[in-house]
Chain A
Amino acid sequence: MVQAAISMRILHLGKLKPLPEKVACPLFSKSGLSLFFPFFILLLAFSLPLQAYIGPGAGFAFLSSFFILFLTFFLALFSFFSWPFRFLLRVIKGQRAYKKSSINRFIIIGLDGLEPTLVEKYMSEGKLPNFSKLKKRGTYAKLQTTIPSISPVAWSSFMTGSNPSKHNIFDFLSRDPKTYLPDLSSARIGKPKKTLSLGKYNIPLSKPEIKGLRKSIPFWKILGQKGIFSTILRVPITFPPEKFNGHLLSGMCTPDLQGSQGTFSFYTSDKERIKKREGGMNIPVTLNGDKIETYISGPENTLLHNDEEIRLPLRISIDKNKEEALLEVSGQKFKLGKHTFSEWKKLTFRPGLGIKIRAICRFYISQIQPHFEMYLTPLNLDPEKPALPISHPFIYSVYLAKLLGSFITLGEANDTWALNEGVLSEEAFLELTYSNHEEWENMLFNAMHKTKKGLITCVFETTDSIQHMFWRYLDESHPALESGQAKMSAKVIEDLYQKMDGLVGKVLGKTDEKDVVIIMSDHGFKSFRRGVNLNSWLYLNGYLSLKEGKKGSDEWFKDVDWEHTKAYALGLGGVYINQKGREAKGTIHAGEETKGLKRELIRKLDGLKDEERNSVAINKVFDRDELPSGPYLDNCPDLVVGYNEGYRISWDSVTGKVNNLVFEDNIKAWSGDHCIDPRIVPGIFFCSEKINTKNPSIMDIAPTALELFGLQVPSHMDGLALLDAQNFSLDKNRKEEKK
């Protein structure tokens, strides 16, 4: 009433025209009581007129927050209302997932290279209670591996349920018959096909070619076609990731940012430590006072016509008293003490044109005085912004990194070469390896927590890496014990097995009676005391010729005379016939001549004796033509060599070096191996249920998964289901267990 009266009286001022509606008022009038963005609601809850003033401050602080709230709200609504439609769509598509399934979850834990004899020994000593529990409850058996017994081959057979001749992976390396040079067997990463030349730049107009070379279909893809969800973590030969109904993080063979399988950097001010390195590069540094100006060696700049390495400046300020250093790189500054691994650090490489290539890495200072020495991990693809696809869907790696923190993405994650080369100490290697392992465990348990029905598979390469590098402590006669780093003991391996037992216990603790658990390894392990240089043997026996005047050949057959060579060895177990029409400078005709040569080589190599040690070095040579057939058998080496325990192909032979020495001691820390006669390195197989055979094969896992989820096993699979779904009753097994 009073307000109305005042208005009337103002109008009585006669000619006074009403002011426009939007006359600005002093600030304490009405604007403070208004709504602008939803975040003001909170502010408006206060009665002070000043609240109008805190808008930007509050906005700055709360805008993201309220945006998230609203986004969440709308996503919740969308999720809620669209769910019936999505469900209907799945029904229409015939994806009646789990309708015929005998189980809720099938959990497969791969412990790469876990050795049956050690598992049995430690179980008998009561050191592996969870493995023992699983054996008692269900099944323990040795698992037949593939020919050859190499991880990429075995895991490819695991996922496809078929022999190598059907999935096309026969080794880590394959060879290009035109050049006799090695290729990665599992994937090919090429340059973009279309580019635009602009000044110094070569601008890509298409995506780089990233092609997986493994053939056949992984069983999780078949499950996905029927609507059964899978989470696949770090299974070897899953790079590049394939589309399917589920989540996948690529494992072994995922490259680093430099396109290699892992190239570490070793910074040293000690000139005597500069030498040729197999798995990494030396970066010599000079101390200027307490400062070092150096760089991080990045990927090649493919944007330029003349590819050149992209480098990031790295400044190191050393505090000798505190035994630490201040590192400045890629806009970051951080202190790092001696013998401490840094957290994952993000690096950004800028090749030009505003493009950024992201990587993550960890630093480790091994020595400050008298010489500065620092190890830098290979540059891993940043899982939050990967330069190459490393997961399916693409956002899966982003999700894992956001949820659990940055993690190693490199396929060959554990830097065995850094230990081999003495760049990392044994302790540092173990610390780094177990740190990687922890990241994978976190991913596994996150997947288990989120998956109520479906398949979960996670492969840990921790077991493989540590056994490769520490097996010598189990073998008192190992030559490597007398040279290089040998400060630790067999306890390292025992600890490893006990840690894996702990992992098994945690997994079992998160399962129930509707889950089936398999713990398996793709192959076992044996000592690698002596290397066999097959190329030298072929040379000394007249099958491989060198160029005139040469008494040996450098890497990759540099001095080999191909026009007079009949056979050569490449990779970890293969011998190839230098065949006419197939190899660029072939000398042996296909057909009878090849067969005859193979017979001759088999006759000579089978039972090849190491006279120095009075021991058989080669148990058996497998003829490709006698291996199970398949569409890709032609890509298999002509002969696959099965070495005896204690032997393996020598380091030099793998890389195509030829000399006069056939047998040599292996003095590297890499002292255990499995690239031998597959019959003496079976894997382990534990299952929470009883199985229908005493001799399971790694190829049986895929059909078993399909059977358990009620799907038909495709005829191309060579494996057989280990559990018969029709007769399979979890309840029945449980009752038997209780009895």
Chain B
Amino acid sequence: MMWIFNSVFGKIFDFIFFLFRSMNPWIGMILISVLTALLMLFVFRFTSNQEGIKRVKNKIKAHLLELRLFKDSMSLSFKAQGNILRYNLRYISYSTKPMLVMIIPLILILIQLNFWFGYEALTPGQETILKVKLEEGHNPLDIDISLEPSSGFDIQTPPLRIEEEREINWRLQAREKGVHDLTFIVNGQKFTKKVSVAQRPLSKISPLKVKRNFINELINPGESPFPGDSPIKAIEVKYQSKDMNLFGWSIPWLFGIPPWLVVYFALSIILGFVLKGIFKVQI
């Protein structure tokens, strides 16, 4: 069920970005930021107390002006600050409903965007680590697992089995461009995982494939899940994070948040504020 939903939702994003795949990722980012801003404005417009927000914002501005107008009176300044905080709390309370309404769609949007903007596809010759995480009750030292050779990559090391982590790792080297299937044989059962090598500037990359489970599938909808009785919990391919380059300046990670998310946060919020006047939305 979840997978159907993920497929449909994923297709929507495939459709949105279809024309922009060969273009600079910034164009796709701006597009999705505009759409997000519009969505957020729409939600705000119809779920929040617009009159209340307007009223409370006016009060906040009035008390901010009060700080300037009564700057020589310490007591009035402090009272004004108290009032600002009081009305700010009311403002937050007015914002809570639309925020709660927005959380679910935004979670889904961000999950999808992570596939498009979170990772850089491997380039031919680039090495990466492939991790297979086993379910509880399966010992990596005992399990019969093999990774089948492929024309898309070289398997550079034999499997490294880490008993404490129930993990088996390989080192791979990408060879040919394209989306390749990694095929594992585990206790005679076949499992696959996609690996992307040198895609278009904007391409969908799924680093993790998980076992069927609501939360797992929700967060990692890039590939169809493993069956529920699978001994494999997850298979992960390590990709480098995508670089968001603005006129030669590579946007850095900010307090652990990846560049694309920083840009998306900033753009969608800024665009929301820019567009609010046009759509007459109080935020």
Query: Which residues of A are at the interface with B, using a C-beta cutoff of 8 A?
Result: 2, 5-6, 9-10, 12-17, 19-20, 22-24, 26-28, 30-31, 33-37, 49-50, 52-65, 68-69, 71-72, 75-76, 79-80, 83, 86-87, 90, 229, 247, 331, 393, 395-396, 398-399, 401-403, 405, 450, 452
Contacts and interface: CB of A to CB of B under 8 A. Distances in A.
B160 A395 contact: no
A33 B256 CA distance: 8
A15 B70 CA distance: 70
B67 A75 contact: yes
B272 A60 contact: yes
21 contacts: A16-B129, A23-B238, A24-B240, A24-B242, A26-B236, A27-B111, A34-B257, A36-B254, A36-B262, A36-B265, A53-B107, A54-B103, A55-B257, A56-B265, A61-B99, A65-B91, A65-B95, A86-B71, A86-B72, A331-B280, A395-B65
A430 to B, nearest CB: 28
B70 A450 contact: yes
Interface stretch (B54-62, B175-183, B224-232): B54-62
Nearest to B128: A19
Top 7 A-B residue pairs of the complex, sorted by shortest distance between their CB atoms: A34-B256, A24-B241, A403-B62, A402-B62, A61-B95, A57-B102, A61-B99
A14 B157 contact: yes
Interface string B208-252: 100000000001100000000000000010111110000000000
Contact of B118 (A27, A34, A247): A27
A49 B64 CA distance: 37
A441 to B, nearest CB: 18
Contacts of A71: 64
Residue among A17, A57, A405 facing the most chain B CB atoms (10 A cut-off): A57
A63 B165 contact: no
Nearest to A34: B256
Contacts of A30: 256
Given A14-B157, A27-B219, A61-B99, A56 B257 contact: no
B164 A83 contact: no
Contact of B265 (A27, A59, A402): A59
A12 B160 contact: yes
Contact of A56 (B164, B264, B280): B264
B261 interface: yes
A35 B255 contact: yes
Contacts of B85: 69, 72
B88 A65 contact: yes
B84 A68 contact: yes
Interface stretch (B5-13, B14-22, B74-82, B187-195): B74-82
Contacts of B255: 34-36
B103 A396 contact: no
A83 B84 CA distance: 20
Interface of B: 36, 40, 44, 57-78, 81, 84-85, 88, 91-92, 95-96, 98-99, 102-103, 106-107, 110-111, 114, 118-120, 127-129, 156-157, 160, 162, 164-165, 169, 171, 207-208, 219-220, 236, 238-242, 253-258, 261-262, 264-265, 268-269, 272, 280, 283
Contacts of B129: 10, 16, 19
Contact of B162 (A9, A50, A393): A9
Nearest to B99: A61
Given A86-B71, A398-B65, A60 B165 contact: no
A52 B67 CA distance: 36
Contacts of A33: 256
B119 A24 contact: yes
Contact of A5 (B59, B164, B240): B164
Contacts of A2: 164-165
A512 to B, nearest CB: 16
A412 B268 CA distance: 47
Nearest to B89: A65
A36 B102 CA distance: 19
Contact of B207 (A26, A35, A69, A331): A26
A333 to B, nearest CB: 11
Contact of B69 (A20, A72, A80, A247): A247
Contacts of B107: 50, 53-54
Contacts of A393: 69
B241 A22 contact: yes
A60 B238 contact: no
B58 to A, nearest CB: 4
A23 B239 contact: yes
Given A27-B110, A34-B257, 16 more contacts: A23-B241, A27-B219, A31-B256, A31-B258, A36-B255, A36-B257, A52-B261, A59-B269, A60-B40, A60-B102, A60-B283, A61-B92, A65-B88, A79-B71, A395-B68, A401-B58
B85 to A, nearest CB: 7
Residue among B120, B165, B236 facing the most chain A CB atoms (10 A cut-off): B165
A87 B95 CA distance: 40
A452 B118 contact: no
A22 B256 CA distance: 9
B103 A57 contact: yes
Given A16-B127, A24-B242, A56-B265, A399 B72 contact: no
Contacts of B73: 450, 452
Residue among A17, A69, A86 facing the most chain B CB atoms (10 A cut-off): A69
Contacts of B256: 30-31, 33-35
A5 B258 CA distance: 28
A153 B78 CA distance: 41
B162 to A, nearest CB: 6
A399 B68 CA distance: 10
Contacts of B77: 75-76, 79
